[in-house]
Amino acid sequence: MAQLYFRYGTMNSGKSIEVLRVAHNYEEQGKKVLLFTPAIDDRYGVGTVASRVGIQREAIKVDADTDMLAITAAHSPSCVIVDEAQFLNREQVLNLTRIVDELNIPVLCYGLRTDFVGNLFEGSLALFSWADKIEEIKTICWYCEKKALMNMRLKDNTPVFEGEQIQIGGNESYLPVCRKCYVRLKQGLPPLKPRS
């Protein structure tokens, strides 16, 4: 029976490489995969899923008007995979549930849980509400050995705690940090244990 999965993690937790690995595993078995990615994420080009380790592939770009249900119905894949799912809107997430429930096709969504100030994205909130299975992809804090929970935004290598919710960027703009280091840095204190 098909299910809707939400696999979330902080920046730099390996979500995109997991997307690429899962797609490869399906295709290696001769199964068709539809890979979607929001058009707003243009770090490696619109419609491209890329990992920091240098692997990338083309995907179907998703904007506010993209009907993933109709596209999926037209292609009848074995699986649908969505990268950067936090950028989806609620209606798109509800259409993913229809892919699962009406077309009996599993949907695997990968994305961030929260933004740089700890607020849920619209897509993440909808996925937490509607997904059959929720799984965390873990990584460690950039500064200490604790589990990273927060996406700390940087400007000129300095943490920032105000601004627009969405700012596309990679390691130059975000670091995965634990809650304790995040709070300390917000208070102007040094993180727990800087890397040497």
Residues 6+ apart with CB under 8 A from 185: 152, 159, 177, 191
In contact, 9 and 139? CB cutoff 8 Å? yes
Asked if 81 and 19 count as a contact pair (C-beta separation under 8 A), the reply is yes
**Maximal CA-CA distance, the chain:** 54
Given the residues 84, 122, 136, 145, select the one marked as catalytic. Answer: 84
CB atoms within 10 A of CB 68: 21
Residue with tokens 């929970």: 149
Q: Is 82 helix (H, G, I), strand (E, B) or coil?
A: strand
Determine contact, residues 68/88, Cβ cutoff 8 Å: no
Whether 84 is catalytic is yes
- Which residues on adjacent β-strands are paired with residue 35? 81
Active site residues: 84
